[in-house]
């Protein structure tokens, strides 16, 4: 049970303690960090007493879960609302605990003057140390209540967390980290693209300047929402600091009638005293145990073959069947037919919305191709983009009013497609019927659910509808999964523009980027790994000549980059030389042998030289590990550095083996040869490391460690 007093409630997980003070008008967090084993809430409250400074209020306004204008708090407000200009000074009069346990706290706060109720939910997962927080606002007054902003929560961060790392990017360059020193003032990232976005992933790290992958305190925050959002970290002039995240609402988007409520997206947060990799492992454990379906957890992730970069829109059943045969021969387990299969879809300017196989290409529907793929021993998957419509389509010609738009301006052109208004029941019903029919009539195991444009003008009947659009999408996905529970769904949005925990709760896989360049992918996947475990991140071996960067890489390097994710292929198999095909087969075999470890183990990102990127996966019992060292640029030194492993059992002995690339020719005797017949302690591997063989830029080594005790 939760340790409680009149004012305090304590939530505890394996490694974290959170203490909430509910004795005031609004709840606040007075401690969140390493687990306390010999300290009481009263001690923490006493330690937290602050003096007031000259030139400031005589009584310091507390930093609560939801700071308000009415409280007089001078920093970022957790909520902004009004009734035609009144009720702006909303502030609860009391906080009542509705539910309290060692892992969950539910608090109701009421403003009896303005008739507004806040309901805060705080949950601390015991095994992962991940917090989930949300706020619900209810209008109990007679007049409508306009809600302009409601953070999922406001969390305090300590003064020693003096550095912030956010996640920026662009199309084909997602999950790029940007680090800045904390400063007096506000760090703000806002997204109004209508989807999670390429350029402003809703994640943030607050940490010490000296924190590394393996040491130092780190706080992580992620908003599980697939639409507009606001990320804020603020340091006040009095030294206090906070983080807020929430849905960025458009003007007049949320107007609550009497009795109506708004529920914020969920803010996920975690703390680790042991660096960024340990923080990521917290989030990975949470995703695996709480967001993924049982089916996704229990089924090995099959090797994909995706047709996009092989054929684009040039569909020919004979060629596709030949690709399926070759894909199966090299080791594919799922064949995904990408864009171009449906009516009128010879390019990206027509056909979206008409979800029937093009009779000029597939006169007997998809069944003959599906049967052929299954006869080759593979599952069949299909690309779809349900939320979009081309003006050149039967659907748009019949229903031109079914789109999101502004009332007084033309729609911003974007890929010759428009966004369907899912908030209209007729549109929602039509889409459900289309894809229910498609999945019922065909043996489809997997949908690649794409979304290839921003929602620039999300209007419906003259009102903004982005919030309702996202909720309608979630409901559509949930309804289709309930009707077709065996079908897996990937969230793709011209790459990584819709990757977040909100969409992941309704899907099984994310597509981190349209960029299959192995060198770029290593950095993209590294950024994604801060919040997403490897098994949900699709990683494909692309063409020899990358279609995005015009850069060429060896098959061995491309395969190494794709190995540590949900592995697949996306290129024309006819381009393979005999040697490349042998390397590809070996890589896919290696993935199948090691995917249980890669998709269930603990991630360790390693501190690397500027010319390298390194990380590894270690099993929970530390009996085996898989590590990679990728040389991304020319090194400054003439001889390679030592590679120090992480996460092993210091007292155990391990066999170390270089398993990729096969047949590496060393220039001279090296440490790997010297240790080939020797077992080495985990302590030695972690503290001394192994001297790496000389490699060239844009090559990668993969090491296997096996405990031999």
Q: Given 274, 354, 450, 517, which residue is catalytic?
A: 450
Which residues 6+ apart lie within 8 Å of 72 measured at CB? Answer: 57, 61
In three-state secondary structure terms, 416 is: coil
Tokens of 354: 């008409």
Total length of the chain = 709
Torsion from C-alpha of 511, 492, 412, 151, nearest 10 degrees: -90
Beta strands across the sheet bearing 8-12 = 3-4, 8-12, 16-21, 28-34
Does 392 participate in catalysis according to the annotation?
A: no
Cβ atoms of 545 and 513 closer than 8 Å: no
Cβ atoms of 93 and 110 closer than 8 Å: yes
CA distance 593 to 663: 19
In three-state secondary structure terms, 399 is: coil
Instruction: Name the phi and psi angles at 373, rounded to 5.
Output: -60, -45
Cβ atoms of 326 and 580 closer than 8 Å: no
Respond yes or no on whether the N-terminal peptide bond of residue 661 is cis (omega within 30° of 0): yes
CA distance 417 to 408: 19
Does 21 participate in catalysis according to the annotation?
A: no
Cβ atoms of 45 and 20 closer than 8 Å: no
Cβ atoms of 135 and 66 closer than 8 Å: yes
Cβ atoms of 649 and 707 closer than 8 Å: yes
CA distance 414 to 411: 9
CA distance 525 to 564: 9
Quote the DSSP letter at residue 599.
T
Cβ-based neighbour number of residue 101 at 10 Å: 13
Location of structure tokens 């309608």: 472
Cα distance between the two ends of the chain: 41
Q: Given 162, 339, 500, 514, which residue is catalytic?
A: 514
Q: Which residues form the catalytic set?
A: 450, 514
């Amino acid at each position: 049970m939760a340790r409680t007093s009149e004012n305090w409630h304590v939530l505890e997980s394996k490694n974290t303690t959170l203490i909430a003070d509910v004795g005031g008008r609004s709840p606040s967090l007075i401690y969140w960090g390493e687990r306390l084993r010999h300290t009481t809430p009263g001690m923490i409250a006493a330690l937290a007493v602050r003096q007031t400074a000259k030139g400031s209020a005589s009584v310091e306004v507390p930093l609560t879960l939801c700071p308000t204008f009415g409280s007089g708090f001078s920093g970022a407000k957790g909520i902004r609302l009004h009734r035609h200009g009144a009720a702006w000074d909303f502030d609860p009069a009391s906080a009542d605990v509705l539910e309290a346990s060692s892992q969950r706290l539910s608090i109701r706060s009421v403003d009896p003057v303005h008739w507004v109720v806040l309901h805060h939910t705080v949950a601390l997962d015991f095994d992962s140390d991940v917090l989930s927080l949300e706020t619900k606002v209810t209008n109990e007054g007679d007049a409508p209540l306009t809600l302009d902003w409601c953070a999922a929560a406001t969390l305090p961060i300590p003064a020693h967390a003096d550095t912030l790392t956010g996640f920026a990017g662009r199309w084909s360059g997602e999950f790029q980290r940007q680090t800045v020193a904390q400063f007096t003032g506000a760090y703000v990232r806002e997204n109004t693209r209508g989807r999670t976005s390429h350029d402003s992933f809703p994640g943030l790290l607050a940490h010490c300047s000296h924190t590394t992958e393996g040491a130092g305190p780190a706080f992580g925050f992620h908003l599980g929402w697939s639409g507009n959002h606001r990320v804020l970290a603020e340091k006040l002039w009095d030294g206090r600091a906070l983080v807020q995240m929430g849905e960025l609402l458009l003007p007049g988007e949320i107007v609550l009638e009497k009795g109506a409520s708004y529920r914020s997206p969920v803010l996920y947060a975690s703390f680790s005293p042991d660096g960024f990799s340990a923080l990521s492992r917290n989030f990975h454990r949470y995703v695996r145990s709480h967001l993924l379906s049982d089916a996704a957890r229990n089924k090995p992730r099959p090797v994909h073959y995706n047709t996009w970069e092989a054929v684009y829109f040039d569909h020919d059943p004979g060629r596709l069947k030949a690709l399926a045969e070759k894909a199966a021969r090299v080791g594919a387990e799922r064949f995904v037919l990408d864009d171009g299969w449906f009516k009128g879809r010879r390019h990206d300017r027509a056909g979206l919305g008409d979800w029937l196989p093009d009779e000029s290409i597939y006169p007997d529907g998809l069944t003959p191709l599906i049967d052929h793929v299954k006869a080759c021993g593979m599952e069949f998957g299909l690309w779809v983009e349900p939320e979009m419509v081309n003006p050149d389509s039967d659907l748009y010609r019949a229903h031109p009013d079914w789109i999101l738009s502004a009332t007084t301006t033309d729609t911003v052109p974007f890929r010759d497609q428009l966004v369907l208004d899912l908030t209209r029941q007729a549109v929602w019903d039509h889409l459900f019927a289309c894809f229910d029919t498609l999945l019922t009539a065909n043996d489809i195991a997997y949908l690649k659910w794409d979304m290839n444009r921003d929602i620039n003008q999300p209007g419906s009947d003259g009102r903004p509808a982005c919030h309702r659009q996202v909720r309608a999408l979630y409901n559509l996905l949930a309804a289709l999964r309930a009707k077709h529970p065996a079908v897996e769904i990937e969230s793709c949005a011209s790459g990584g523009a819709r990757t977040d925990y909100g969409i992941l709760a309704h899907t099984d896989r994310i597509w981190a980027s349209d960029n299959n360049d192995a060198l770029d992918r290593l950095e993209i996947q590294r950024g994604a790994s801060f919040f997403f475990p490897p098994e949900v991140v699709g990683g494909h071996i692309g063409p020899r000549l990358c279609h995005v960067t015009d850069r060429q890489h060896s098959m061995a390097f491309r395969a190494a980059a794709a190995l540590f994710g949900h592995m697949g292929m996306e290129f024309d198999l006819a381009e393979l030389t005999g040697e490349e095909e042998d390397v590809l087969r070996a890589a896919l075999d290696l993935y199948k042998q090691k995917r249980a470890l890669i998709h269930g183990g603990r991630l360790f990102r390693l501190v690397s030289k500027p010319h390298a990127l390194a990380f590894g996966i270690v099993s929970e019992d530390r009996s085996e590990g898989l590590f990679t060292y990728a040389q991304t640029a020319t090194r400054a030194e003439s001889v390679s550095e030592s590679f120090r492993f992480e996460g092993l059992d210091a007292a155990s002995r391990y066999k170390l083996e270089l398993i990729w690339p096969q047949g590496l020719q060393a220039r001279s005797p090296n440490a790997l040869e010297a240790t080939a017949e020797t077992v080495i302690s985990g302590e030695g591997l972690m503290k001394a490391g192994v001297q790496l063989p000389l490699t060239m830029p844009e090559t990668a080594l993969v090491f296997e460690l096996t405990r031999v005790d």
